[in-house]
Structure 1
Amino acid sequence: MKAAVVSEVNAPWVLQDVPKPEAGAHQVLVKIHACGVCYTDALLAQGTLKMREFPMVLGHEGVGEVVAVGDGVTSRKIGDRVGLPITQRACGRCDFCRERHVNSFVTANNCAAPVLTGVNVDGGQAEYVVADEEGTVLLPEGLSYELAAPTVCAGYTVWAALRRANAKPGARVAVVGIGGVGHLGIQFAKAAGCHVIAVTHSPDKHDLARELGADDVVANGAELREAGGADVLLHTAPTHDPAIDAMQGLRPWAKIILMGISAEDTFPIPALAVTGQSFEIIGSAHNGPEYLAEALEIVARGDVKPMIEVFPKEEVGEAYNRLINGQLRFRAVVKYA
């Protein structure tokens, strides 16, 4: 089969022939129709995150069709349309797993030996991939593979963050950073009935933010405060400075939700403001498969539409280059079938 192989740190993504995998016990073989390219893929390809040895096949936004099942599979069948989120399976034996947690990034970071699709095992940037049956999610009828792919990670991330914030209809939600995750944050918050304020330093994104559903668009925390402030701040920017600045526009008891993975290791906070205003700073990354199912349903019914650029598999290297050079509006999806 063909797969996009990263041979070493900072190497280009090259489509080449590799052995086609076979489904083992409790595994399914998925024919990949599309796979999104995520910023986490870049951190792995550049060696910032070190989870396995090179060469590797990345991709944790794969979606496709089950074409074979291994022994003991009960929850999936041939013909099922599925997505392949990053947390495929926990070891089930370590102290953390004995507490019976749901699959999430917390599981990925605390299980002694998790299986992570496209991270420590080969992922969806390939024509076929194998996964544990429990490491797949059924796709809603009518949802295209191209729109499902970015929802499996980026959409999942931002919807799980909103759910973690417990943002009620009418809540004022500020979205910092209008990129691959942030453009979905605006739409999901609007779909949840919130008053949405886009926070971006880029004047060229103001009109787009309003088209996506933002009720207000501001450039910084001072303007956010003048616009009425926010009860929830969704930090989706690739750097922390814009979110720190935006905190001056938060209302009392506001929640700051950190999501995703950044190359910046620390998040400096204005301690007096956090204490005096009783802010909550909450980490959020996926949080459970039920939120992925919800996100997929919301996209399937058309309330949210990821903005994507679609590439044939022969141009997977170009898709990755456009990601790392900041040239995408806003998510790259590579088609394999």
Structure 2
Amino acid sequence: MTAKMKSVVVDQAKGRWELRDRPVPQVGPNDVLVRVRACAICGTDLWLSDGVLSFRDFPIVPGHEAAGEVVAVGEGVTKREVGDRVGVFMTQKMCGVCDFCHEEHPNSFVTAANCASPTLTGVTVDGGHAEYVAVDAGGTVLLPDAVSYEQAAPIICAGYTVWAGLRRAEPKPGARVAVSGIGGLGHLAVQYAKAAGFHVIALTHSPDKKDLALELGADEVVSDGASLKAAGGADVLLHTNSSHAAVADAMNGLKPWGKVVLMGIGTDELALPALALTSNSYQVIGSAHNTIEHLVEALDFVARGEVRTLVETFPKERAEEAHAKAGAGEVRFKAVITY
């Protein structure tokens, strides 16, 4: 193994994604060293590199949608071995000593928000946009053999998010599931909802995405809440885009006792129709990564060929190009950098 590796480094807010030589990380107790083969760009990566979110000082190495193979294991590791194909997700481990950790919650995105000192890959520690990353073994998931690294990487966060959100909503058999926003999250949400056997309505304001949504499995495509209502309404609304302004409009098509699942992170405020919320007994649910079992399930759908990620791949030498295109919304739908 070489002493140096290539890694993406961001020196300052809104800085370029520079490919640089850095030392290969050391493997500590309970850690595994992963030779990264592919790492997708998440919207959170863009916010971190732009300084919109800040959890540590620059320079940073982003990336929490990484896939590769284990090449070394640290002392105490029993659940991973050299040669394992793994995905590396964000919530690597909790501190274990704060009040939240003493409540013994399962590892999820709620851990990231409530643990006093969580270890978050690509957020509080160096991430997966590098040839190697050392992480706690508990921050990895085994990949099915049938799933390529390029296809696995976006599922580690984006696919995980939408499948966990659908599971959180607990739709009944035969439910009508609407997906608001056909992008990095939404194009996967349509497929997961269809693969799970639900009637799927895609909600998009972009005419050029109508045919694509139908190809991905949507039974119908509508443009707003009024047309959603006219089409028969929805029992569950999966809101996947980064703007909350569209939620209230889409809720015009929500059936009584319907559920809204928020999973796209936005900086705008969320305004809800209070009368409709109360009189229809709606539920508004926030959801992200809800236990590792949902990630395993999300990957299994890909392995069975029922879900596929639409990706544009870039070699590591074009990391800044991938970053720029993803930031400009010019990738349909996930940028994946290969290492």
Classify the TM-score, shorter chain: over 0.9
Shift of 1:191: 0.5
The CA distance in 2 between the partners of 1:219 and 1:74, in whole Å, is: 50
The CA distance in 2 between the partners of 1:123 and 1:300, in whole Å, is: 25
The CA distance in 2 between the partners of 1:5 and 1:260, in whole Å, is: 26
Shift of 1:168: 3.0
- Residue 11, structure 1, aligned to residue 15, structure 2: yes
* Corresponding residue for residue 263 of structure 1: 267
**Structure 2: unaligned runs, 5 residues or longer:** none
- Residue 79, structure 1, aligned to residue 92, structure 2: no
Residues 97-246 of structure 1 aligned to structure 2 (within 5 Å): 97-246=101-250
Asked whether the equivalents of residues 237 and 243 of structure 1 are also in contact (C-alpha less than 8 Å), the reply is no
**Structure 1: unaligned runs, 5 residues or longer:** none
SS at match of 1:187: helix
The CA distance in 2 between the partners of 1:154 and 1:167, in whole Å, is: 20
Which amino acid is the alignment partner of residue 73 of structure 2?
Answer: V
The CA distance in 2 between the partners of 1:72 and 1:279, in whole Å, is: 47
Which amino acid is the alignment partner of residue 295 of structure 1?
Answer: A
* Corresponding residue for residue 54 of structure 1: 58
Report Cα offsets for 1:82-125 as digits up to 9, x if no partner.
00110000011111101111111101111111000000100000
Asked whether the equivalents of residues 62 and 85 of structure 1 are also in contact (C-alpha less than 8 Å), the reply is yes
TM-score, normalised by the number of residues in structure 2: 0.98
The CA distance in 2 between the partners of 1:169 and 1:57, in whole Å, is: 43
* Corresponding residue for residue 280 of structure 1: 283
Shift of 1:64: 0.5
* Corresponding residue for residue 334 of structure 2: 331
The CA distance in 1 between the partners of 2:185 and 2:198, in whole Å, is: 17
Which amino acid is the alignment partner of residue 310 of structure 2?
Answer: M
Which amino acid is the alignment partner of residue 55 of structure 1?
Answer: P
- Residue 315, structure 1, aligned to residue 304, structure 2: no
Shift of 1:170: 1.4
Shift of 1:160: 0.1
SS at match of 1:223: helix
Asked whether the equivalents of residues 48 and 263 of structure 1 are also in contact (C-alpha less than 8 Å), the reply is no
Shift of 1:19: 1.1
**Structure 2 counterpart of 1:253, from 251, 257, 261:** 257
Asked whether the equivalents of residues 234 and 256 of structure 1 are also in contact (C-alpha less than 8 Å), the reply is yes
Q: Which moved more, 1:62-71 or 1:234-243?
A: 234-243
The CA distance in 2 between the partners of 1:242 and 1:307, in whole Å, is: 24
SS at match of 1:96: helix
The CA distance in 2 between the partners of 1:76 and 1:327, in whole Å, is: 37
Report Cα offsets for 1:168-209 as digits up to 9, x if no partner.
331100000000000001000000100000000111111111
Runs of 4+ off more than 2 Å: none
Asked whether the equivalents of residues 260 and 284 of structure 1 are also in contact (C-alpha less than 8 Å), the reply is no
Asked whether the equivalents of residues 169 and 192 of structure 1 are also in contact (C-alpha less than 8 Å), the reply is no
Shift of 1:261: 2.1
Shift of 1:142: 1.4
Which amino acid is the alignment partner of residue 72 of structure 1?
Answer: G
SS at match of 1:59: coil
Asked whether the equivalents of residues 241 and 264 of structure 2 are also in contact (C-alpha less than 8 Å), the reply is no
Report Cα offsets for 1:131-169 as digits up to 9, x if no partner.
001111111121100000000000000000000001233
SS at match of 2:99: coil
SS at match of 2:92: strand
Asked whether the equivalents of residues 63 and 148 of structure 1 are also in contact (C-alpha less than 8 Å), the reply is yes
The CA distance in 2 between the partners of 1:101 and 1:320, in whole Å, is: 35
SS at match of 1:18: strand
Shift of 1:263: 2.2
Asked whether the equivalents of residues 93 and 119 of structure 2 are also in contact (C-alpha less than 8 Å), the reply is yes
- Residue 293, structure 1, aligned to residue 291, structure 2: no
The CA distance in 1 between the partners of 2:20 and 2:188, in whole Å, is: 33
Which amino acid is the alignment partner of residue 98 of structure 2?
Answer: C
The CA distance in 2 between the partners of 1:316 and 1:256, in whole Å, is: 36
Asked whether the equivalents of residues 10 and 59 of structure 2 are also in contact (C-alpha less than 8 Å), the reply is yes
- Residue 69, structure 1, aligned to residue 98, structure 2: no
Asked whether the equivalents of residues 151 and 296 of structure 1 are also in contact (C-alpha less than 8 Å), the reply is yes
**Structure 1 counterpart of 2:307, from 297, 304, 308:** 304
